[in-house]
A and B are shown apart, each in its own frame.
Chain A
Amino acid sequence: MKTCRTFRARIHGALDGSLPIEAVFALEEHVRGCAACRTVYQRERDLDAALARLPGPPVERVDVERALAGIRATIDREAVAQPRRRFWLPLSIAAAAAAVLLFFLLRRAPVDERAPPIAASTTRPPAPSPTPPPVAEIAEPPEAAIDPARLARARDEVRCLLASAAEALPPWGEARAASEFAAAVDEGARDLERSRWPVLRLAEGAIADADPAVARAALRYVGARADRLSVRTLEAAFARPESRIDAALALCDAGDVALDALASPLRDPATRGFVLARLADRGGDGAARVVETSIRVTAMNAADRTACIREGLDALARIGGPAVPAILRLGSEGTLSSDETIDALAATEGAAEVVAGFVTARPKGVQDGLVLRALAALQPARALPLLERRALEVRERRREVIECIAWYGSEGGLAALLRLAASGRIAEDDLEDAILATLDRDRNAGRAVVEDWARAGRRVELSVFQRFLLGHPVPAAAPALVAFGGTEFLPTADRRWSLLLAGELGIPVDAELLADLFQRLKPSEKDLKAACLLSIRALAGSERVELLVETLPPRNARRVVAVLADADARSRPITTLTRLARELENALATSVP
């Protein structure tokens, strides 16, 4: 008896039309009696129906004649470019083979040419000729075998071109100068190129030329036009003291293909500085990676470790955002200290934004703790909501994340911490220190948060914050308590006790916040006004109260002053505060019309 699995394996064939009709009948019979297979069968049929409903290609938009014209034009263009394409096919293969052979001959040439074997090279004077010799005589493809005499003439031609173009090459030419110089050489070598002489390889042969100007020009040309094979030649040239500087410059010119080969110039004190500068100008991930490796190596080996690291970090700072992962990796593995890492990031433009992106996913080799420390130092605004979400959702390193938020401080950091407390998903004990530290660093942060949330009507968060302040009576809480006193939608009793507590905890400067609130309160809010006056008196003395009540009608002002003077005279303890408040309320009440 066949199982559902067997039948299901046949569904595709049945819909596809490739299953014998008997098997289709058997399948359909099974499907009628098996609900699970029926579902699968129906789903496959639905898929077929949906595929059948897909709109067809808009063939009506196709203009075959226009397309045909385009095809003809392309074929014609190619025919013009390669008039004897089929005839040339075997020859082009032969030419490629010849080029490979030529390459190997030339690769060995620099070693041999210490005493140049080619007559033309030895007879030519070292000074560059202003005009290259005619190339017509060598303008035939070297498709079959290389005639040593023609090869010598081609090499001599390239040497001559290099020599004449080298006059325009400044000694410390930047990449653009090298590129312009190479373009000038290419212009002169057009006939050679047309004859399929590998100009780059011929130039490589000139790197060991006896004439330093030619050798230097050859190096810079090869750098500007380098492929992977040329890089090895340039590395070999770097190993020779006489061509070290120009080879390093050429490797810099060579771009991505030679990035890894810059390791040696970066180790050499003679070339390190300008190679770093060139890498910094170049920028990008690749340059950052090379500088990172060089810092790692010099940190281990260099005698002047600090200076070398400083140079490398300067280059990374100039590279900017792409260098941030490199700096963090160096810090994570211990090559840089935590402080060095943070300083380097601070000096790197755009680092804060890049580090913000690592809150949720960081690059390989970068420590989470270091990212958090960097965020605490750099404080990119974008990272704060990410940190808040992470603290809420991820238990790992939660304490460090909360500390990091606390370092943000000010209104944003405090609001984030209080939202975490209001979420109920993090124990208040875990947040206590962070919230208090934030309030300590910025006394006005709490007031700003309360005013902002009061405007937005965020009762739950406000109530959590107020409860926290009442449970943690610290001087830094006073401005926030004053703000609670001014929050209209809170119960009056809560507002009054907030104001009285502000008077008890605050410092003299908080009296001005209370005075400001006193002025804004409605005449009917006598109890709150009384609480303000009591707190002002506690923080700034009776003189400040007398100054404030000058705005009241004289009779009320006199009564307020009298009540407070009487309280002072009797040295009433704080336990009579309620009675005093009541008396003040009465004193203020008469001022209401």
Chain B
Amino acid sequence: MARTLDEMREAATEQALIRRARSGDRGAFDALVRGHFTHVYAFLHRMIRSHEDAEDLAQECFVRAWRSLPHYREQSAFSTWLLRIARHLAHDHHRAGGRRARTAPVEAASAQAQPGPSPADALARREVVRDVADALQRLPERLRAAIVLRTIEGREYDEVAEILGVKPATARMLVMQARRALAQRLRPEGAP
């Protein structure tokens, strides 16, 4: 996809910041953190559904990014590289069982976000949203990351593949598997 002039300018600025940060410029790294922290946090929150944990892991992600900057070869976008680190952190968090500890309830958020025209509709919609959120959380971590990145965050398959550390065709397959698994979990009992 062709990049606009603004995007190119922004990328050039980011590259300069990365180079400065790599040479030890903490101010440049701070600027990178300010630019990317919310995106990283949003991805982590979608993965682990806990504000506190997502914020902690996002901080940890940037600490690791600082440590690993010398190894960053700019072969992928900086944001993609960050999300790759974040995904590993989410994976570790999931394995450590942290997800169960502080998972935020979805009902409240969805009720505020999607008020229905009538109380009955609102309730039904809230239940659907809650079911989908629960089903999403029950997906294997790899499939969850795939569907979050592609279907919810709308990233290109190449980028999803980069973040997941797989080939684009595999990323596509993972997204498809995730959708199937999600549909399976949401299907009422006895439905075909």
Residues of A that sit less than 8 Å from B by CB: 12, 16, 18, 43-44, 47-48, 50-51, 53-59, 61-62, 64, 67-68, 70-72, 74-75, 78, 86
Contact = CB atoms under 8 A, between A and B. Distances in A.
Contacts of A44: 179, 183
A48 B151 contact: yes
Interface in B59-95: 59-60, 62-63, 66-67, 70
Give the top 6 A-B pairs by smallest Cβ distance, nearest first: A57-B45, A55-B109, A50-B132, A55-B113, A57-B42, A74-B63
A55 B42 contact: no
Contacts of A86: 70
Interface in B95-121: 106, 109-110, 112-114
Nearest to A66: B55
Given A12-B175, A71-B33, 15 more contacts: A16-B151, A43-B183, A48-B151, A51-B152, A53-B129, A54-B133, A54-B136, A56-B42, A57-B45, A62-B38, A62-B55, A64-B34, A67-B33, A71-B62, A71-B63
Task: Choose among A47, A55, A72, A78 the residue with the greatest number of B CB atoms under 10 Å from its CB.
Answer: A55
Contacts of B16: none
Given A55-B113, A61-B51, A64-B37, A16 B70 contact: no
Contact of B129 (A55, A61, A62, A71): A55
A68 B34 contact: yes
Contact of B132 (A54, A59, A64): A54
Contacts of A68: 30, 33-34, 37
B23 to A, nearest CB: 12
A48 B183 CA distance: 10
A56 B63 contact: no
Nearest to A64: B37
A43 B62 CA distance: 39
B38 A12 contact: no
Interface string B151-192: 110000100000000000000100110010011001100000
A59 B128 contact: no
B17 interface: no
B54 interface: yes
B58 interface: yes
B146 to A, nearest CB: 12
A12 B132 contact: no
B37 A62 contact: yes
A53 B63 contact: no
17 contacts: A18-B157, A50-B128, A50-B131, A50-B186, A51-B147, A54-B129, A55-B112, A55-B129, A57-B51, A57-B54, A64-B34, A67-B41, A67-B58, A68-B30, A68-B33, A71-B59, A75-B63
Interface in B5-54: 26, 30, 33-34, 37-38, 41-42, 45-46, 51, 54
B125 interface: yes
A53 B106 CA distance: 11
B150 interface: yes
A53 B51 contact: no
A81 to B, nearest CB: 12
Contacts of A64: 33-34, 37-38
A67 B55 contact: yes
Given A54-B152, A58-B45, A62-B38, A74 B59 contact: yes
Contacts of B58: 67
Contacts of A72: 26, 30
A75 B63 CA distance: 6
Task: Choose among B30, B59, B157, B176 the residue with the greatest number of A CB atoms under 10 Å from its CB.
Answer: B59
Nearest to A48: B151
Contact of A47 (B106, B114, B186): B186
B45 A53 contact: no
Task: Choose among A47, A74, A78 the residue with the greatest number of B CB atoms under 10 Å from its CB.
Answer: A47
Task: Choose among A48, A54, A61, A62 the residue with the greatest number of B CB atoms under 10 Å from its CB.
Answer: A54
Contacts of B67: 78
Contacts of A12: 175-176, 179
A16 B175 contact: yes
A187 B41 CA distance: 43
Contacts of B110: 53-55
Nearest to B151: A51
A67 B45 contact: no
Given A70-B59, A71-B33, A59 B179 contact: no
A61 B37 CA distance: 13
A400 B172 CA distance: 56
A67 B42 CA distance: 14
Contacts of B113: 53, 55-56
A61 B38 CA distance: 10
Nearest to B49: A57
Contacts of B131: 50
Contact of A59 (B41, B114, B187): B41
B6 to A, nearest CB: 22
Interface in B126-140: 128-129, 131-133, 136
Contacts of B34: 64, 68
A55 B51 CA distance: 13
Contacts of B132: 47, 50-51, 53-54
A70 B37 CA distance: 12
Contact of B51 (A58, A70, A71): A58
A347 B67 CA distance: 57
Contact of B183 (A47, A61, A70): A47
A481 B48 CA distance: 64
Nearest to A43: B183
Nearest to A9: B176
Given A57-B41, A68-B33, A18 B172 contact: yes
A43 B185 CA distance: 13
Contacts of A16: 150-151, 175
